[in-house]
Amino acid sequence: MAVMLIEAPTGMGKTFLVKRMRHHTQIESQLPIVHIDFRERRAHDTLWLVRYIRDQLSKIVPPYIFDDLTTTINQYTTPAAPASGLRTTIKKLRLTVEGQPLEVSVDLVAIRRNLNEFGVTEIRTITFDLGLKFDDLIGENLAAKVIDLINRCERFKLLDQLVLWGAGELPHLIWWEELVPEPDAAQPAAVDASPEDHGGDLQASSQQARQLAIKQINRAFSSCLRRVLDTHRLVLLFDSFEDATDEAEAWIHDQLLVPMFDNRFENLLVIVSGRQTYDIRDRKPLVGKTGLDPFTLDDVREYLLEKRNIQEDDIEKVFKYSRGLPSVLATMADVASMPSADEDDW
């Protein structure tokens, strides 16, 4: 099986399943994985997808493999205009790791994405440990409160503690990039340095010119991806597929699935998860499609008693109100785990 499609309605636990699959792939199977969540409101066009996958894979394979792709992108894009007064999400920090000082850079967007892996209990805990109050965090949901937590940590010089805590809890995620010391000025610069993507937008005077540019960029991407797959098994995971743009949906199908069906991308596994995915019925040997069923009463009992350590007297009532939906059940468990008002330290 080369393609796995996961379809289920809202609240059925697709996000939890995706997180478990990421953990298993990275930690237990030791396979490189690129995860794209379409809930994150980004451009999600061809150029963004190609650049993001390239940048993630450049962390596990020699970056020069993508030189032709970057050169092609630069050929068909305009140089990005310099930022003026905009807040950068890249911050430099000095951490102490295993007793040794370490100069690193962190991406606040990546930190936010990593912190969203935690539940309300863990975020409450780290907020308290940092000397902040969870209830003071601004936001109607946990994701919004995470953003405010990051902003407060940056403002109060607590970002290093937040990052170290996260890395200790979820070490398989990327929390920082170690800064390489600047080379000695007396040393000559490397002659064969890889080209740098100047980050511009697609430049095309007509729809025909745009299609030609996209075709050339996709061709360069496919060539580079085949070079990666010659030496690595790889997993590409696309989550919240119902939020994907039409261009992203077509790109995944045309540039990944179709070549896989033609046996051009060996060692590649593509996972697509969402309320709706692709309707591919004629590729059964290569495509696996599955759904998710609600929890049974026994599942609810096991989850509350064994997984969450909650002694619930009326489990049948909880089962009735949650309708066996994992997300509703998890929320009810989170609420049940919160201290009551008379237990708060006023």
What is the tens place of the pLDDT at every residue in 91-131? 888 888 888 888 888 989 889 989 988 989 999 999 999 99
Of 268, 220, 275, nearest to 47 by C-alpha is 220
Reading the block at residue 126, the tokens are: 């780290």
Say yes or no to pLDDT of 172 above 60.
yes
Of 98, 97, 141, nearest to 123 by C-alpha is 141
Write out the E strands in the chain. 3-7, 33-37, 90-97, 100-107, 177-178, 234-239, 268-274, 287-290
Q: Could you give the 3-state DSSP secondary structure of residue 273?
A: strand
Write the burial class of residue 346 (CB in 10 Å: 0-12 exposed, 13-18 middle, 19+ buried).
exposed
CA angle 78, 82, 86 (to 5 degrees): 130
Q: Which residue has the tokens 């949901």?
A: 141
- The pLDDT confidence band at residue 222, using thresholds 50, 70 and 90, is very high
CA angle 144, 32, 62 (to 5 degrees): 110
Q: How many Cα atoms are found within 13 Å in the side-chain-facing hemisphere of 229?
A: 19
* Contact by Cβ (8 Å): 23, 225: no
Mean pLDDT value of segment 229-244: 90
The pLDDT assigned to 111 comes to 92
Mean pLDDT value of segment 144-148: 92
* Contact by Cβ (8 Å): 22, 238: no
Write the burial class of residue 235 (CB in 10 Å: 0-12 exposed, 13-18 middle, 19+ buried).
buried
The pLDDT assigned to 23 comes to 74
Q: Could you give the 3-state DSSP secondary structure of residue 202?
A: strand
- Each residue's pLDDT tens digit, 295-343: 777 777 777 777 777 666 667 777 777 777 776 767 777 766 665 545 4
Mean pLDDT across the chain, nearest whole number? 81
Q: Residues of the chain with pLDDT > 70: what percent?
A: 79
The pLDDT assigned to 49 comes to 94
Say yes or no to pLDDT of 345 above 50.
no
- Each residue's pLDDT tens digit, 239-295: 888 889 999 999 999 999 989 888 889 899 998 988 888 877 656 555 666 666 677
Residue-wise DSSP of 106-160:
EEHHHHHHHHTTS-HHHHHHHHHHTT--GGGS--SSHHHHHHHHHHHHHHTT-HH
Cβ within 8 Å of residue 200, ≥6 positions away = 74, 77, 78, 79, 80
The pLDDT assigned to 191 comes to 47
The pLDDT assigned to 37 comes to 87
- Each residue's pLDDT tens digit, 180-205: 665 554 554 444 577 888 888 888 88
Q: Residues of the chain with pLDDT > 90: what percent?
A: 29
The more confident residue out of 213 and 278 is 213
* Contact by Cβ (8 Å): 180, 174: no
Q: Can you tell me the distance from the alpha carbon of 280 to that of 179, in angstroms, rounded to the nearest whole number?
A: 45
Say yes or no to pLDDT of 55 above 70.
yes
Tell me which amino acid residue 89 is. Answer: T
The pLDDT assigned to 318 comes to 73
Domain boundaries, the chain: 28-78+205-289, 90-178, 297-338
The pLDDT assigned to 282 comes to 55
The pLDDT assigned to 253 comes to 92
The pLDDT assigned to 343 comes to 46
